[in-house]
Structure 1
Amino acid sequence: MNVPPPPPYPPPRGSRKVVFAVVAGLLLAAAVAVNGLLFFGMAFAGDSCGTSAGTARFCDSSGAWMLVAMFGPTVTLAAAVITVVLGAVQVRRPWTALALGVLVYATGPALALFTVFG
């Protein structure tokens, strides 16, 4: 007697939450690492302001753009975490919220790099 194998069943709902938590945790760890590298780089980016290598936007006398470049990625990381948490808990669309959170976070490093390299 040849009995066909049972049809594949979707994974239990609990495992989807675990996969989401692992992916979100890995993305958060990568974002924290990128923020650390950017913060370290921005701490020394002002050294070129007295030379021709410094950009006019970054090296203005007020220092406002330097603060935007240094703290912008951290602010957008906090906004991205809030977006993901609210999207996953309130709206119950965790993967959409995660994608939106990645886009929200990406604006911070992009703004920092644009400010320095303009």
Structure 2
Amino acid sequence: MRFPPPSYQQPYPPSYGPGFPPPAPSSGGPARVGFAVTAGLLLAAAVAVTGLLFFGMIFASDSCGTSAGTVRFCDDSGVWMLVAMFGPTVTLAAAVVTVVLGVVWARRPWTSLALGVLVYATGPALALFTVFG
């Protein structure tokens, strides 16, 4: 006596029990792209502002021999000159580190981006306050 072939017509019988779960949908696809574009544009603007401030601070000490120079910027130690020149660059690096750590560790990209903008804004503000008093 012969039995008919199984009706499923597959090379192997179906598996028993629950199968593998379907792959999870990618979380935040458009939001990640929006964050990356926003962060890239803000970084490009910050690099441009930092470069312009650095270039301007090279010539900011020209007024120190006249009465137009501020007392803080034109002191003999040169510390405030260095703060005004390198402050925006240091705060730009600190802002990048803040955003990267916020995205990787805290998983809060938009909050860390806002905090990074605030961290960066202190550098140009300090530089301009130093020069113009």
Q: Provide TM-score, normalisation by structure 2.
A: 0.79
Q: What letter corresponds to residue 37 of structure 1 in structure 2?
A: L
Aligned length, in residue pairs = 107
1:18-33 mapped onto 2 (5 Å cutoff): 18-33=33-48
- Residues 1:113 and 2:113 aligned together: no
Does the residue aligned with 1:45 lie in a helix, a strand or coil?
helix
Which whole-Å CA distance do the structure 2 matches of 1:81 and 1:16 have between them? 19
Equivalent of 2:99 in 50, 62, 84: 84
The structure with the largest helix share of the pair is 1
Q: Provide TM-score, normalisation by structure 1.
A: 0.89
Report deviation, 1:43.
Answer: 0.2
Report deviation, 1:15.
Answer: 1.5
Which whole-Å CA distance do the structure 2 matches of 1:88 and 1:47 have between them? 42
Equivalent of 1:58 in 66, 73, 81: 73
Which whole-Å CA distance do the structure 1 matches of 2:103 and 2:32 have between them? 10
Residue in 2 that maps onto 1:101 = 116
Give the RMSD, CA atoms, in angstroms. 0.7
Q: Structure 2: which 5+ residue stretches go unaligned?
A: 1-26
Over alpha carbons, which structure has the higher Rg? 2
Equivalent of 1:68 in 83, 86, 104: 83
Residue in 2 that maps onto 1:46 = 61
Which whole-Å CA distance do the structure 1 matches of 2:103 and 2:41 have between them? 16
**Off by >4 Å, runs of 4+ in structure 1:** none
Identity across matched positions, percent: 83
Does the residue aligned with 2:105 lie in a helix, a strand or coil?
helix
Q: Structure 1: which 5+ residue stretches go unaligned?
A: 1-11
Which whole-Å CA distance do the structure 1 matches of 2:77 and 2:28 have between them? 53
Which whole-Å CA distance do the structure 2 matches of 1:94 and 1:80 have between them? 13
Cα deviations by residue, 1:8-37 (Å, 9 ceiling, x for unpaired): xxxx61111111000000000000000011
Report deviation, 1:68.
Answer: 0.2
Which whole-Å CA distance do the structure 1 matches of 2:71 and 2:56 have between them? 18
Does the residue aligned with 1:56 lie in a helix, a strand or coil?
coil
Q: What letter corresponds to residue 19 of structure 1 in structure 2?
A: G
